[in-house]
Amino acid sequence: MVFTGRQTTKAIGDAGEALALKHLQRAGLVLVERNYRVARGPSARGGEVDLILRDQDGTLVFVEVRARSDAGHGGAAASVGSAKQRRIVLAARHYLMRLAAPPPCRFDVVALDGARIEWLRAAFDAS
């Protein structure tokens, strides 16, 4: 992924998500939903899951995609801190409430540092 000074943050995020989705689909995962958002209230931040996919074994995978121009300052993966994890878990729990029988789940991170892509399976849990 090539970053230029003229791209908006949204454009970079969308391109990163598309690249991550292709990578995960090549590994056999199937897209269920993209950019699932939930509001928490008028003055509190809600949560969002970038990608929700189903793995070959039936596991529902909630994926956070992070893109950085390089691995400096800890890289993309390091930017998924505890507050971000809580917001992703909030959205995932909301999503799972819609299902009659929730399947096994996990939280993955796809980190894009420049041209490097790293898929961190089970990067964090809901606790």
Q: How far apart are CA 31 and CA 114, in angstroms?
A: 24
Phi/psi for 4 (5° steps) reads: -125, 160
Contact at 8 Å (CB) between 79 and 57? Answer: no
Domain regions of the chain by residue span? 9-124
Please write the tens of the pLDDT for every residue from 79-113.
Answer: 888 999 999 999 999 999 999 999 999 999 999 98
Amino acid found at 28: G
Contact at 8 Å (CB) between 37 and 51? Answer: no
Please enumerate in sequence order all residues whose Cβ is within 8 A of that of 98, keeping only pairs 6 or more positions apart, or say none.
none
Q: What percent of the chain has pLDDT over 90?
A: 64
At residue 115, the pLDDT reads 83
Most confident of 42-51, 66-75, 113-122: 113-122
Better pLDDT: 126 or 31: 31
Report the pLDDT averaged over residues 71-75.
63
Is the per-residue pLDDT at 3 higher than 80?
no
pLDDT band at 45; cut points 50, 70, 90:
confident
Is the per-residue pLDDT at 5 higher than 80?
no
Out of 7-11, 24-28, 84-88, 98-102, least confident range: 7-11
Distances from the Cα of 40 to the Cαs of 11, 46, 47, 80, 87, in angstroms? Answer: 25, 4, 8, 20, 9
The H-assigned helical ranges of the chain are 9-26, 75-78, 82-97
Tell me the fold of 9-124. Trna Endonuclease; Chain: A, domain 1 (3.40.1350)
At residue 49, the pLDDT reads 96
